[in-house]
Each structure stands twice: as C-alpha cells, then as structure tokens.
Amino acid sequence: MLDVETIDSILAKFPQPKGNLIAILHEVQNHYRYLPEEELRYISKRTGVPITQIYSIVNFYNRFSLKPKGKHVICVCLGTACHVKGAEKVINEVKMKLNIDVGETTDDMKYTLEEVRCIGACSLAPAVVVDDTTYGKVTPKEMASILAKYK
Amino acid sequence: MASTVNIIINGREIQAPEGMTILEVAKKEGIFIPSLCYLDALEPEGTCRLCIVEVSGSLRHSIRVSCIQEVKEGLIVETDTERIKRNRRVLMELLLARTPYSKELLDLARKIGVVTSRFQSEEFDDCVRCGRCVRVCRDQIGAYALCWVNRGYQRTVTTDFDRISEYCIGCGSCVQVCPTGALKMEDRGNERIIYKWGQILARLKLEKCEKCGKPFAPKKYLEHMAKKAYKPRGLQLVEIICPDCARKVERPVPAPEFPVGKMPFGF
C-alpha cells in the first residue's frame, strides 16, 4: 500500500531531493524498516531520479534493504579482530536461539540477523550492534541475555 | 585550436591534441591496444583494464589504463612490452573465467595470446561487466532502462527490480554496443525481446509498417526518434514506414543544410 502522505512529508524536508536522495531513502527506511518498491517508484516520480538509479543505489549500500526487516536488527561484527575473538560463536548462538540464518528475519518479524564487516569497535571485540546500541566483548552467554532484553 | 603535446608511442614521435587519452591517440595513429569497455560515443570508464600500457617520461614509470589516462607533454608510452603482455594475459584469463563461452571475447583472447584460462568459476555468463550497455542507455539514449546492481562478485546488469523494463524503448543500442554478445535482441512475430543470459530485460510490441504491414519497430522507439532526430531538424513523423519501404518511396530532395543519412547515435 502506497502511503503518499508519509513520503511527501519526508520529501518536503529536502528542498533539493536529487542531492539528498540517500538521506531521503534513509528516512523512508527508518519509517518502514525497509524500502518498498511502490514507494521507491513514487520517489522516482516525484524527484525525477530514474528508478533504475535508485535501484542501483539501494542495491549498492548494505544499509538499505528491499526486504522487510524485523523490529530489532542484530548486527554481529565479523571483522578481523572480532573474528579472531570468537564472533563466530556469538553469531552461532543467535542463529540457534532465533532459528534463522544470516540475512534472515524471524517469522514473527521481531528479529533480523545480519553480519557486518568492521564497525570500528575492534578494541571491544567481539562487538554486536542491536538497533543503535553497541555491545562489546560479547560472549555467547551474554548474547543470550542481550537478546532477552529486546522483546 | 587546442594546443598539442609531443608524446612517444612505441618509439614513434606523435603530436597529439591536449586532453586526448592515450587510447584515442593510439587509435588515431593506427596502434592496436586491445580494449572492451572503451567506445568513442561514451565517456570512458576504465572498467575492463585490458587497455593497460606502460608509461614513463613525464609520468612516473608505471602501468596505466590508457582509455582514461590523458596525454601529457613528454610522455613515453609502450603498448606491447613483455610486462604489459603478461599483465594483459592474466587480466584476460580472469575475464575468461567468468565469461568462458563468448565468441567475441575468445577471439580477442586469441589475438593477445590467451587460449585457455587457468582460473575457473562456478558462476559464469557472457557479460564482462564493462558497462557499455548501461552507459549507452543512460548517456546516449537517456532511457535509463538498465542499471548496475550489487557489488563485487555479484555485480550485474539488470532492469529496475529485475522486472521486464517499462522504460526500455527497444532501440537495441545496448545490444549493439555489447562487446561480448551478452545482450541479445530478437524480433519474434510482432514482439521485440531484449534479453541476456537467463533474463528477459524488455518486451515490446512492434508497430506495423503502414505500407507492407510488416511489424518493424516499437512505438516508444519511433516516438524517441521523432523527438530526438526529426524534431531538431524541423521534421515530423508522418507515416510509420519500415526502412525497406522507405527506400522505395520517392521523397523530395532534402534541403542541403540538413545532414543526411547519419543517425544521431555515435556509432
């Protein structure tokens, strides 16, 4: 369902939509938790940016998603430092607990599991980001208690 | 008159206009440098890397991509040294790993001395990711029907949301510029289909010729031609006639100030 009002109110914030396309897409993604096709086509029509270019951008950046994401996004860092410090075990713990694979969302649309390369928190390795909160030196046991916080 | 610079390519002294790239100068002088992504009509992007040359003189001695490297006063270019050949062969082998069955690419490979590739890939198709089709659709035609998706190994050319494009005008420019024949176009009955390895990109209904009744061009394409080619010359699209019938029709001799015969495309 195309929600014209929401998109219009987001577009109204940006006087030059062509240059602020990524910022617009961020806001739309924050609102829907993903980027629906119809909305993107509408943005294309309103801003005059060809839909293929928007599609390219959305595909290029990992942050953007064309699939609905869960209420909470769990990003497990698998950068070098985190990998060495056992991020694999942490990610396996999440996979087991939620019964999903990387990039998937639980059926109740509550959690999405993602792996990221480096989040720049190597001193806190292994690091996990849930929504906007970063957790450092996470052990598999702690991971379970972190998950319990997000309902 | 633009100022010229003196450069040396393969020991030959050449005067070249400033701002030209090495590849353009070499082409003009008849020196062969293999390339895939370069096309006169398009802005060079330097994606295939096959046109590498060795430069020295006014630039630090190094290997440069000749289609995007502009000439400089006192530049010494070598296009065929052992080092270049070796590097080029490796590049070609890597290209062949993903594109093992393209006849055009195999021909070029043989030309630079590569027969088989040491590398193997589980995934393969006919596309070398040179981006000519995307660039021609975007910059020359202005249809914006094709785009890049994903990054790195998964990078590929597709339409918006991988659907059959509604923006494609069916001009077939992408098919024409594709160096490896990855994109194909077919007119089946009264339908034109543009497709690539395993995916249909566009499907357009063909308009029938008013004279002979043969379906020959999609409507969007005719509209595009009317806008881009006829209108600037003060002409109008009056009848929809296929090229075969158009040749038979007697027309008044066009006024001499209009350029005749050449399409507004650069190829």
* Amino acid of residue B92: M
Share of chain B above pLDDT 70, in %: 93
Position B2 confidence tier, pLDDT thresholds 50, 70, 90: low
pLDDT for the residue numbered B183: 92
Residue B258 has pLDDT above 60, yes or no: no
B152-185 residue pLDDT tens: 888 999 998 999 998 999 899 999 999 998 999 9
Same structural domain, A50 and A81: no
Task: Show which of A35, A60, A85 is a domain's final residue.
Answer: A60
> A53 touching B, CB under 8 A?
yes
Residue B39 has pLDDT above 70, yes or no: yes
Among B133, B186, B123, smallest CA distance to B157 is for B133
Residue B267 has pLDDT above 50, yes or no: no
> B161 touching A, CB under 8 A?
yes
- Residue B121's SS3 state is coil
B53-105 residue pLDDT tens: 999 998 899 999 999 999 999 999 999 999 999 999 999 999 999 888 888 89
- State mean pLDDT over B206-219: 87
Query: In this complex, how many residue pairs, one in chain A and one in chain B, have their CB atoms less than 8 Å apart?
Result: 29
Give start and end residues of each alpha helix (H) in B70-218.
82-98, 103-111, 132-135, 173-177
Same structural domain, A135 and A104: yes
Closest-CA residue of A relative to B143 is A50
Please tell me which of the candidates B150, B151, B160 has its beta carbon nearest to residue A52. Answer: B160
In chain B, CATH 3.10.20.740 sits at 4-80
Within a domain: A97 = yes
The CATH architecture of the domain made up of B4-80 is Roll (3.10)
Same structural domain, A86 and A127: yes
In chain A, what residues touch B150 (CB-CB under 8 Å)?
59-60
Q: Which of B139, B157, B160 to mutate to test the interface with A (most CBs of A within 10 A)?
A: B160
Residues of the domain holding A97: 72-149
- Residue A31's SS3 state is helix
Task: Show which of A32, A60, A88 is a domain's final residue.
Answer: A60
> For residues B179 and B105, what is the distance between their CA atoms, to the nearest angstrom?
8
- State mean pLDDT over A103-114: 88
Q: What is the domain count for chain A?
A: 2
